Amino acid sequence: MTSPRQRHILCMKWGTKYGPEYVNRLYAMVRRHLSGDFNFVCLTDDSAGIRPEVQCLPIPPLNLPAGIPERGWNKLATFTGDLYGLKGTALFLDVDVVITGSLDDFFTQPGDFLIIHDYKRPWRITGNSSVYRFELGAHPDVLAYFRGHFEEIRRQYRNEQAYLSDFLHKQGKLQYWPKDWCPSFKYHGIPPWPTNYWKAPFVPEGARIVIFHGECNPPDALAGRRNRRFRHIQPATWVAEHWRE
């Protein structure tokens, strides 16, 4: 009888944009929504303030040129051939997502590599890398090719998720999560204009992980926004229910 593969939750925190509370709340949400045992790993340059249940490890260096724009390239370090000896299945989550439903199926959904399909341009293959799953050590060529062709990749692809999606698509390994599982707060959770002035944001039906991208993070959504004429947002009170320790 074979033993079940170990399950890992991976996240990353670097720089000063996100404090340790993002990692701590992410862990708490995972614990509430993922049954059974799992290992929670944060790849980070600063582990101060992160709760002890989280295994903090250094971000494997990419040795990128200094001063280049931040395009999420650091995430590609998750594809190193040997990530600190970790073995099993990894589910990567951005630290600013809000988990609202069960995560169990994210580990059983068939596929070599699963990612969110791009919300805004679904005719493209590009995925949104806020949530992706892979077998640790299974795709070292993603990182190896990146290391050897960075300038070419930087000219061809806007960010890491465009490169990652195209690279694995060419190998026939790219697949997407079911459409309802990982909706965008920005595109799917805000009532359309002009009803956004009097209707509060909502959790899209079937959502399990709500993605926050652009300038609006969970605390911003919770507070609401009144300084944009066509992008007014009433306070998303539902965030407080989920985005907590």
- In this structure, is residue 147 part of a structural domain? yes
Q: What is the pLDDT of residue 1?
A: 37
- In this structure, is residue 20 part of a structural domain? yes
* Domain span at 125: 7-176
pLDDT band at 69 (very low <50, low <70, confident <90, very high): low
- In this structure, is residue 100 part of a structural domain? yes
pLDDT band at 5 (very low <50, low <70, confident <90, very high): confident
Burial 23-46 (b: 16+ CB within 10 A, else e): bbbbbbbbeebbeeebebbbbbee
Whole-model pTM: value is 0.95
> Residue range 94-110: average pLDDT?
98
DSSP string, 71-124: -SGGGGGGG-SSSTT--SEEEEE-TT-EE-S--GGGGTS--SEEEEEPSS-TTS
- In this structure, is residue 163 part of a structural domain? yes
Length of the chain: 245
- In this structure, is residue 1 part of a structural domain? no
pLDDT band at 119 (very low <50, low <70, confident <90, very high): confident
Q: What is the pLDDT of residue 123?
A: 79
- In this structure, is residue 26 part of a structural domain? yes
The domain spanning residue 63 has which CATH number? 3.90.550.10
Burial 74-95 (b: 16+ CB within 10 A, else e): bbbbbbbeebeebeebbbbbbb
Give the distance from CA 50 to its chain's centroid: 18
Q: Which residue has the higher pLDDT, 103 or 228?
A: 103
d(C-alpha 118, C-alpha 202), whole Å: 21
Total count of domains within the chain: 1
- In this structure, is residue 29 part of a structural domain? yes
- In this structure, is residue 31 part of a structural domain? yes
- Give the type of residue at 36: G
